[in-house]
């Protein structure tokens, strides 16, 4: 998807990336389920749509960090966590929301990144 690629090209320019990603439209529950069904059917663009819809949820905790922690490496770690969360979450299960599940993965990625900085 071109829109996702154009946003990901700006990872090295952290303020621009955070601004672009935070202003993307969020998915509704119906859109989320439709994308998940298409992804289960093998549609490769559905995963990109889920990623675009949840990038604002990914960048929200990053924006709350101190500026010296807002690095391209951290964003890459959180992006990988977003991809893993999409791959592991059961979108058709009632009761759990993906945004909560994703926040756990993002929090873990941030904690892991900070721990790695302190070991270095």
CATH 1.20.120.1810 given to domain 2-119: yes
Q: Tokens for 16, please give them.
A: 């621009």
Task: Kindly list the domain boundaries of the chain, sorted by start residue.
Answer: 2-119
CA distance 27 to 5: 19
Q: What is the mean pLDDT of residues 13-19?
A: 93
CB-based burial, 41-65: b 16+ in 10 Å, e otherwise: eeeeebbbbbbbbbbbbbbeebeee
Judge contact between 62 and 75, C-beta under 8 A: yes
Name the pTM for this structure. 0.90
What pLDDT is stored for residue 102 in this prediction?
94
pLDDT of 95 > 80? The answer is: no
Q: Tokens for 20, please give them.
A: 């672009």
pLDDT single digits (tens) 31-88: 998 999 999 999 989 999 999 999 999 999 999 988 888 899 999 999 999 999 999 9
- Percent of the chain surpassing pLDDT 90: 64
């Amino acid at each position: 998807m071109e829109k996702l690629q154009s946003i990901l090209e700006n990872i090295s320019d952290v303020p621009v990336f955070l601004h672009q990603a935070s202003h993307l439209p969020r998915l509704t529950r119906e859109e989320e389920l439709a994308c998940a069904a298409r992804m289960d059917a093998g549609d490769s663009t559905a995963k990109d749509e889920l990623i675009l819809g949840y990038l604002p949820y990914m960048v929200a905790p990053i924006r709350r960090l101190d500026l010296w922690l807002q690095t391209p490496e951290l964003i890459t770690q959180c992006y990988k966590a977003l991809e893993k969360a999409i791959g592991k979450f059961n979108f058709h299960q009632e009761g759990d929301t993906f945004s909560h599940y994703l926040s756990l993965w993002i929090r873990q990625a941030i904690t892991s990144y900070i721990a790695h900085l302190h070991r270095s």
